[in-house]
Amino acid sequence: APDTSAKGNARLECDKGNTALQKQAYDEADRHLSMCIEAAALSDYNLVAAHFNRAISRFQLGNFDGAIADFSGALKIQPALPAAYLYRAQVYRRMGKADLAESDARTGAKMQGDAAVLVSSGKTDVEGGRLEAAAGKFTQAIALDATVPDTFVSRGSVYEKLRKFDLAKVDFQRA
């Protein structure tokens, strides 16, 4: 027999929301994950996951305030969640809140390692037009962890903007 309990219904909505998120059907994901969270019948672990995934959906939909609220909700339950700090930093950056973005990036990076904070800070520099500073931070991040292709792509993009096409080409090939 199907599980018709509140917990079973919440899990079903979470599953539907997660499937929609994977399909990039963000409106559908937001709707199902909202029902999942509102059911208030989840373990802390599943509630954190639901908030985190709904935050991703809301970010993709341009609902930055909603994304911030959900990342914050996940962090209230599980403060040692570096990915939530790092993603929330991206949302703050999109909102033009560089100080908050930098603070969250640093907090998340302390949990994940120094390379992540350099990359996040470098991206803030790019958005602020500080291209030489960004290139330097991406270079430092690569020195700490050369296994992240996105860092090479980010530095390559900066090199293109600086018209250093040979260096950009090398980075894109390494990515």
pLDDT digits 0-9 by tens, 23-65: 999 999 999 999 999 887 778 888 889 999 999 999 999 999 9
pLDDT at 92: 98
pLDDT at 11: 86
Residue stretches of the chain with pLDDT short of 50: 1-3
d(CA 12, CA 156): 43
pLDDT at 144: 65
pLDDT at 168: 95
**Which residues, 6 or more positions from 57, have their beta carbon under 8 angstroms from its beta carbon?**
17, 20, 21, 26, 27, 29, 30, 33
How far CA 98 is from CA of 52, 94, 140, in Å, comes to 21, 9, 21
pLDDT at 129: 95
